[in-house]
Chain A
Amino acid sequence: MKRDEYYITKNWLDTAVSKIRYGPDRRRVRKELAAHLEDAADAYMEGGNYSLHEASEIALRNMGDACELADELGRIHKPYLAYFCNFMVILAVLFVLIFGKAEQLDINGKNYAMKNEHANVEMLFDEENRLVYEQNSAVKIGEYDIYVDKAAITDYPNGSRYITIKLNIETDKLSYMKPQFFRYMTVEDEYGNVYRLEEDTSNIGLRFMTNYGDITGKSMIAVYFDAIEKDAVNYMVKYDRAGVSFELPVVLGGK
């Protein structure tokens, strides 16, 4: 049984934080007060041979009136700043949606619906750092399928590691698209590190710092990133632009 959810304390805690209107603040304060009650009850149990029930009651009595505390906490934890931050986030999302849609229409007149279908790709590397990979499925973006075409890991003497992943879209070339504002592609590894990718556009399609010499007539999206965790093998490539959105989990095998 969780001590802070013990029936005596639960009501007291709920009341004490009831006037903190911003949820995250309310939860933080509740946790802090619950920790205090837990410490106090432990001390009474150790020092006075009280049962948990009795110790919790004494701890609550010593905390004082929950309603009075609620009034004071409510006065201090004003929600305005938090609401302002939330408002700014909403504004930013609206901005992205509005401009994302406008940009979407610039792509060769094609309409790209947002899809979130995933591909799981297992990649393995041979001794010469050449990729051997196994592809399970494609990522669906609008009417197009995206496949992982190539990937490579390069370790440098200075300790940095570079990974390049190239994704191919099996379709006609995309037209040139002028970036309207920066929205970076990111890669997240299994440790929760998020890496921002540099971005490039060209008249043969969308590219992300591709260093491939074998550019074909096909459009492609490639990603290139560095300074990654050495031990990470699971990556999530995330892309959200021009009405196109996908998340691509990629597993990189050890060399």
Chain B
Amino acid sequence: MFNKKIDKSLLSGSTSMLVLALLRESDKYGYQMITELALKSDNTFELKEGTLYPVLHALEKDGALKSYDKVAPNGKTRKYYSITKQGLELLEEKTEQWNTFAKAVNSTLMVKGTV
């Protein structure tokens, strides 16, 4: 039977790109990102939720994100992340890499006649 959930290793390399893409829309906190990611991908991107935080912290350390405390709609203070100019540039770069990669993979699969 076809399993909609994708191989974890395919997702791990692109998590930071997905996070940056989510934050390009608006500032968000961790749990909010997880729920939106699941919603937008129709539950295709269901990663172990804890793995989001090393990604966020690494991006923040590299200057792609900034964080601040803010009261969330549920009335509790949450750590929000926002994308920086550097983060937008990184997202553009990663998107370009992804498109090149996807195109190459698709071409190869087409040649083999498997798609």
- A residues within 8 Å of B by Cβ? 16, 29, 31-33, 35-36, 38-40, 42-43, 62-66, 68-69, 72-73, 75-77
Please list 21 pairs of residues, one from A and one from B, whose beta carbons are closer than 8 Å in the complex, sorted by A's number.
Answer: A31-B79, A32-B53, A35-B29, A35-B79, A36-B30, A36-B31, A39-B78, A40-B31, A62-B48, A62-B49, A64-B48, A64-B49, A64-B51, A65-B50, A66-B50, A68-B50, A69-B53, A69-B54, A73-B57, A76-B54, A77-B57
- Whether the Cβ atoms of A73 and B53 lie closer than 8 Å is yes
Q: In whole angstroms, how far apart are the Cα atoms of A21 and B61 in the complex?
A: 16
Q: A42-B74, A69-B54, A76-B58 are in contact. Are A35 and B49 (CB under 8 A)?
A: no
Taking CB atoms, residues of chain B closer than 8 Å to A65 are 48, 50
Which residues of chain A come closer than 8 Å to B79, judged between CB atoms? 31-32, 35
Interface size on B, residues (CB 8 A): 18
User: Given A42-B74, A76-B61, A33 and B48 touching (CB < 8 A)?
Assistant: no
Q: 7 closest A-B pairs (Cβ-Cβ)?
A: A64-B48, A72-B54, A39-B31, A63-B50, A64-B50, A69-B50, A36-B31
With a cutoff of 8 Å between Cβ atoms, the chain A residues found around residue B85 in the complex are: none
Interface centre among B31, B50, B51, B74 (most CB of A within 10 A): B50
Query: By the criterion CB–CB under 8 Å, are B48 and A35 in contact?
Result: no
**Complex Cα distance A35/B29, Å?**
10
User: With the chains together, A129 CA to B57 CA distance in Å?
Assistant: 55
Highest count of chain B CB atoms <10 Å: which of A36, A42, A62, A77: A36
Chain B 27-41 interface residues, beta-carbon cutoff 8 Å to A: 29-31, 34-35
